[in-house]
Each structure stands twice: as C-alpha cells, then as structure tokens.
C-alpha cells in the first residue's frame, strides 16, 4: 500500500471520528436541552395553562354573580321650606327613602310635595292644576285651624277656653270678666310671646294681643303640669274625614313643679322647647322605660292607679278635635275650591290639649307642620317615624304596588286595588231606586255614581283598609240613633255610606 493511500485512510478515519464526536456532542446537547425543557419550561407551560384557567373561572364568576344595576325610575317627592337647612326633616327623608322614593323638585313629575311652610301663596301657580296622583301635605286654608288666635277666639267651642282678641273683643272680655270675677287670664301676643297671667283688672288692651282664660287646678303627674299632643290627619274636607293616631301621643312636662304656684315662673305652667320628657317623670318612667309601654299606655296606667278612667278623657279629647274640624270645615272648603276638588291634599296636625284635675279636656292649639325632629330628644325618633309612616299609608303614599309613580297605570291595576263591588252598599235600597238618581240615598248606588262620588267613596275605602294605627273620628262611630241633620249634605251622604258598610261588615262601624 502506497504512502499516499495510507495517508488518505488515516484522514478518513480522523473524519469519521470527528463526525462521531460531533454526533455524540449533538446528542448530549439535545439530551441536556430536553432535560432543561422538561424541568423548567414544562412547569412554566403548566403554570401558564393553570393561570389562564383561573382567569377564565374568575371571569365566568363575575359574569354570573355581578350585581345587576337597574336604573329604575322611582316615585318622586320634593320639599318646600323657606330655610335651606332641612335637617329638621331628617325623619321625613328617611321614611320616604325606605319607601323607595327619590328626591326631585318642582320641575320633575313629582308624586308628593312635603311643605314645611304654607305653600299656597308662593306656589299657587304650581298647585292649581294637580294631577290625580299628586299629593300635598297641607290643605289650602288650613290656617283657620292652625292659627293660634283664630282657633282660640273661635265661637261656640265647648273645649276651647274663652279667649278675646284685643282690641276688637275688649267689651266682650269686660262682660265675661264681670260674670267670672274670680278667674285668671293669660295674656299673650298673637305669636304667643310675652305670656303673662293677669287678673281681669290688670289686663291691658294692647293691639296685637289676645287674652285667654287660665286653666287652674291642672291635672299633675308627680307635681308637674303637662300638655298632650294628639297627632291627627285630615284627609278630606268636602266631605270631612278625620283620623287620630292612636299608636301613641306626645307628653311634654313643665320642667318645674307647679306648686307652690308663682305666676312669674313660666316654667311652672308653660311648656317650652326644653320641656321635661316622660322618661324623666318617676311615676311614668317604669312603664315607659323599663316595661316598654307607649307614652299613652304609661299615662293611662298611672291614671287608673289614681282611681280615674282615662277612656272617658280620651273620648272627650277626640270629641274636641272633631268639634274643631267641623267648626272650620266650611272655611277650609271655600279656600280649597281655588285649587280643584281638594282631593290632592291632606293635613297632619298635632292638637295640644290640657287637662284639669277632673280630667276635663281643653283645646290649646293646633300645630301646622308639627315638630318631627328628634335632635333635642333622640328617644322620640320612633314616635315621629311611625307617625310619618302611618300617615303615608293612610293617604296612599306608602302604596303596596311598587312602581315609578303613584299614578295608576291601567284599569286592571285600579280594579285590583278597588273595584265597584268594594264600594257599593245598601243592596235592598239600591234595588228599589231603579236608576232614580234624584233621591239622595240613590246616589250611593252604582247606576247613579258620578266620577266625583266614586272618587270620594274609593278614597274612603282605601283609607279604611290602610289606616293601620289611625282611628277614624269623623265620620263618627255608627249608631242606630245618630242624628245627621247638623251636617252638610256631602257629610250626610258619606255617613250614610259608612252606615251601609257597617251593615255589611262591623269593622266599619268605628
């Protein structure tokens, strides 16, 4: 073999070895890379897949469990007050918000106007043409009841202490004082400032004041004089419908004991803003605080302990309120005529009453927009909110049907709430009427219904169903021998309707 061939063979051998070494190196590199990929990249890939899965799960859960926000239209109320700070109406706001109302303004399609101040002068243009579903918390002309001088100087009131406006009633006062020489009188300015007790001989006749008989020998609890605030709602004046809140009443005590009496110390006999609350009166505290009774029930228990009957006193109190409403009915009705048929209005009033030691009742004043703020006395919050809620239920603002407005949406919804069968009465009489609508009683029969009569009866029916803790005091309780002659024709017709409902269902009698 030549040297040349040996060299070629040797070179080929070297090339084969190089190729094998390269292949071995490549194999090792691949093995190392596989090891790296399997130990590092594998977990990374798995983690990535797991992360994507988690994101998918979270996104799916969000899709299915995300709260659905519905921008619904709710019933609207707005507040009218001269003062921009309406924090004293906090409980009115709270109750309305719980009922699903939202605050609007005069420009919105509102359902309720809550006016703290008398609204019919400033807002007369807005309140002249109200829609049927809109409600206002005052009656036009309600000042005939809530104006202190007008109420106190009303003629013929059996429960109102004799009062005289100066100087117009000067001679009438002199004549009354001569007949009652032992009586004392309270002289006040027309805004109830500058109160002073005077004997008839010491009374002056200054313009802008009025003089009222002073109630001596008051009924005392633990030596303290007090007044009683009875919450009352007037829902109609033509015909008249009046309800008192029987869930509770407000007791306010003078901060200083009445005896020994000193007319110069007003806190002995005048109830002011810093009155003594019921929970600070020892004889009532156990009932009210420890046993959880209402103010009214606590007081009634105490009266029974004194051997007296509180039921008779409350009957007189309700009679006093009924008397005032009837006395002022015609005046309010005339003013209300300027604002339609009066069906849009209701009035929440607090009548303040005083008692003498024989539990005789005296009407002292009626408060338009009574205080409903518990800022001074926080325990009164429950009373105020229950009064507000019960009032809204009574007049149909707290409707059971939740919707965007108090407006009735269709005929079927209206009939679901109240149908003709709910308001027809006196079946035997109506059968004999034979469509003779000239007979007064026949106006209560379905063939003779006018739209106005049907609306009156429908509102009366719904108030009865929604009265909750309110008790009707006018029309009065139905009795067989009740006299109707002293009432207006509209009132007589409504009372006759209540008589018909009472015959069908005894719950309507009271």
Residues 268 and 154 in one domain: yes
For 425-478, the pLDDT digits (tens) are 999 999 999 888 988 889 999 999 999 999 999 999 999 999 999 999 999 999
The strand pairing partners of 234, in sequence order, are: 242, 347
What are the tokens at 83?
């003062």
Q: Please check whether residue 47 lies inside any domain of the structure.
A: yes
pLDDT recorded at residue 499 = 95
Using DSSP's 3-state secondary structure scheme, residue 32 falls into helix
Q: CB burial class (10 A; 0-12, 13-18, 19+) of residue 237?
A: buried
In this prediction, residue 70 has a pLDDT band, given cuts at 50, 70 and 90, of very low
Position 102 in a domain: no
User: Does the pLDDT of residue 57 top 80, yes or no?
Assistant: no
Predicted local distance difference test score (pLDDT) of residue 265: 95
What percent of the chain has pLDDT above 90?
Answer: 69
Cβ atoms within 10 Å, residue 294:
18
Whether pLDDT at 42 is above 60? no
Distance (Å, whole) CA 289 – CA 280? 10
Query: Which burial class, exposed, middle or buried, applies to 447 when counting CB atoms under 10 A from its CB (0-12, 13-18, 19+)?
Result: exposed
Residue pair 510/471 in contact by the 8 Å Cβ criterion: yes
Residue (of 471, 461, 365, 367) closest to 421 by Cα position: 461
Residues 57 and 203 in one domain: no
Structure tokens at 214: 């002073």
389 shares a domain with 426: no
Cβ atoms < 10 Å from Cβ of 345:
28
Per-residue pLDDT reduced to its tens digit, 131-144: 999 999 999 999 99
Is the predicted pLDDT of residue 248 greater than 70, yes or no?
Answer: yes
CA-wise closest residue to 236 among 117, 115, 396, 91: 396
- Percentage of residues of the chain with pLDDT beyond 70: 85
Residue 32 predicted with pLDDT over 60 = no
Report helix, strand and coil shares of the chain as percent, to nearest 5.
Answer: 45, 15, 40
pLDDT greater than 70 at residue 48: no
- Residues facing residue 366 across a β-bridge: 351
Comparing 60 with 497, the larger pLDDT belongs to: 497
331-386 pLDDT, tens per residue? 999 999 999 889 999 999 999 999 999 999 999 999 999 999 999 999 999 999 99
Residue 71 gets the label, from left (phi > 0), alpha (psi -120 to 50) or beta, of beta
Q: Is residue 406 situated within a structural domain?
A: no
CATH number for the domain harbouring residue 316: 3.30.470
Same domain, 435 and 350: no
Q: Are 446 and 427 in contact (CB under 8 A)?
A: no
pLDDT at 193: 64
How many CB atoms neighbour CB 115 within 10 A?
19
Q: Are 475 and 236 in contact (CB under 8 A)?
A: no
Region 11-36: mean pLDDT is 62
Mean pLDDT, residues 420-424: 96
Whether pTM exceeds 0.95? no
Residues with Cβ within 8 Å of 372's Cβ and at least 6 positions away in sequence, in order, are: 88, 89, 91, 92, 384, 387, 388
What per-residue confidence (pLDDT) applies to 61?
Answer: 42
* Cα gap 503→430, rounded to integer Å: 14
Q: Can you give the pLDDT at residue 122?
A: 94
Q: Are 318 and 231 in contact (CB under 8 A)?
A: no
Output the furthest CA–CA distance in the chain (Å, rounded). 171
Confirm whether 16 is domain-assigned: no
| 170 and 285 both lie in a single domain | yes
Q: Give me the pLDDT at residue 114, please.
A: 98
At 373 the pLDDT is: 96
Give the pLDDT confidence of 141-167 residue by residue, as tens digits: 999 999 989 999 887 889 999 999 998
**pLDDT, the chain, mean:** 88
What total of structural domains would you count in the chain?
3
Q: Are residues 302 and 348 in the same domain?
A: yes
Give me the pLDDT at residue 86, please. Answer: 92
- Ramachandran angles phi, psi of 223, nearest 5°: 90, 0
* Segment 179-196 mean pLDDT: 83
Whether residue 110 lies inside any domain: the answer is no
**Are 239 and 379 found together in one domain?**
yes
Strand order in the sheet with 112-115: 102-103, 76-80, 112-115, 135-136
Dump pLDDT digits (tens) for 314-330. Answer: 999 999 999 999 999 99
In a domain, 24, yes or no: no
User: What does the DSSP 8-state code read for residue 441?
Assistant: G
pLDDT at residue 51 greater than cutoff 60 = no
Q: Above 60 in pLDDT, residue 36? A: no
Query: pLDDT band for position 103 (50/70/90)?
Result: very high
Domain containing 52 equals 38-69
Residues listed for the chain: 510
Count CB-CB contacts under 10 A for residue 431: 9
Instruction: For residue 373, say if its preceding peptide bond is cis, omega within 30 degrees of 0.
Output: no
Same-domain status, 358 and 287: yes
Helix axes 295-305, 310-336, angle to 10 degrees: 140
Strands 184-189 and 112-115: unpaired
**Are residues 384 and 426 located together in one domain of the fold?**
no
For the stretch 174-184, pLDDT in tens is 999 999 999 99
Grouping H, G, I as helix, E, B as strand and the rest as coil, residue 128 is coil
> So what's the pLDDT on residue 64?
37
The residue among 367, 394, 421 that closes a domain is 394
- The answer to whether residues 331 and 438 belong to one domain is no
Looking at the structure, tell me whether residues 462 and 496 fall in a common domain: yes
3-state SS, residue 346: coil
Do 354 and 488 share a structural domain?
no
Does residue 200 sit within a domain?
yes
Q: Is residue 249 part of a domain?
A: yes
């Amino acid at each position: 073999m030549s040297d040349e061939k040996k060299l070629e063979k040797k070179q080929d051998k070297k090339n084969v070895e190089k190729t094998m070494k390269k292949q071995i190196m490549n194999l090792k590199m691949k093995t190392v890379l596989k090891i790296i990929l399997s130990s590092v990249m594998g977990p990374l890939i798995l983690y990535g897949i797991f992360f994507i899965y988690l994101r998918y799960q979270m996104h799916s859960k969000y899709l299915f469990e995300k709260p659905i926000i519905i921008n619904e239209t709710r019933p609207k109320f707005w507040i009218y007050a001269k003062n921009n700070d309406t924090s004293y109406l906090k409980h009115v706001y709270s109750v309305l918000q719980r009922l699903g109302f939202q605050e609007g303004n005069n420009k919105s399609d509102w359902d309720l106007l809550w006016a703290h101040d008398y609204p019919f002068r400033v807002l007369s243009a807005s309140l002249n043409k109200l829609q049927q579903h809109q409600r206002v918390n005052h009656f036009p002309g309600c000042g005939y009841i809530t104006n202190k001088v007008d109420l106190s100087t009303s003629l013929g009131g059996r429960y109102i202490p004799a009062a005289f406006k100066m100087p117009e009633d000067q001679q009438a006062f002199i004549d009354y004082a001569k007949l009652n020489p032992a009586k004392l009188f309270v002289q006040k300015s027309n805004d109830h400032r500058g109160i002073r007790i005077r004997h008839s001989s010491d009374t002056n006749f200054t313009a802008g004041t009025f003089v009222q008989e002073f109630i001596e020998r008051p009924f005392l609890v633990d030596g303290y004089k007090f007044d009683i605030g009875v919450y009352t709602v007037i829902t109609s004046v033509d015909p008249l419908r009046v309800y008192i809140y029987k869930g509770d009443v407000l007791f306010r005590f003078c901060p200083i004991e009445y005896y020994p009496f000193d007319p110069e110390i007003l806190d002995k006999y005048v109830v002011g803003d810093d009155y003594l609350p019921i929970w600070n009166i020892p004889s009532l505290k156990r009932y009210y605080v420890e046993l959880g009774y209402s103010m009214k029930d606590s007081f009634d228990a105490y009266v029974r302990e004194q051997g007296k009957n509180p039921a008779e006193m409350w009957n007189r109190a309700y009679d006093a309120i009924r008397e005032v409403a009837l006395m002022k009915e015609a005046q309010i009705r005339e003013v209300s005529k300027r604002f339609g048929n009066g069906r849009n209005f209701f009035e929440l009033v607090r009548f303040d009453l005083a008692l003498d030691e024989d539990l005789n009742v005296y009407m002292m004043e009626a408060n338009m927009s009574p205080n409903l703020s518990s800022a001074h006395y926080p325990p009164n919050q429950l009373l105020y909110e229950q009064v507000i809620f019960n009032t809204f239920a009574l007049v149909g603002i707290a409707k059971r049907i939740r919707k965007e407005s108090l407006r009735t949406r269709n005929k079927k919804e209206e009939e679901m709430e109240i149908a003709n069968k709910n308001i027809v009465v006196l079946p035997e009489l109506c059968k004999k009427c034979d469509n003779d609508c000239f007979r007064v009683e026949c106006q209560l029969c379905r063939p003779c219904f006018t739209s106005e009569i049907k609306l009156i009866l429908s509102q009366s029916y719904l108030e009865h169903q929604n009265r909750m803790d309110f008790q009707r005091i006018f029309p009065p309780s139905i009795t067989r021998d009740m006299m109707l002659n002293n009432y207006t024709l509209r009132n007589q017709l409504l009372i006759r309707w209540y008589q018909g409902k009472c015959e069908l269902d005894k719950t309507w009698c009271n």
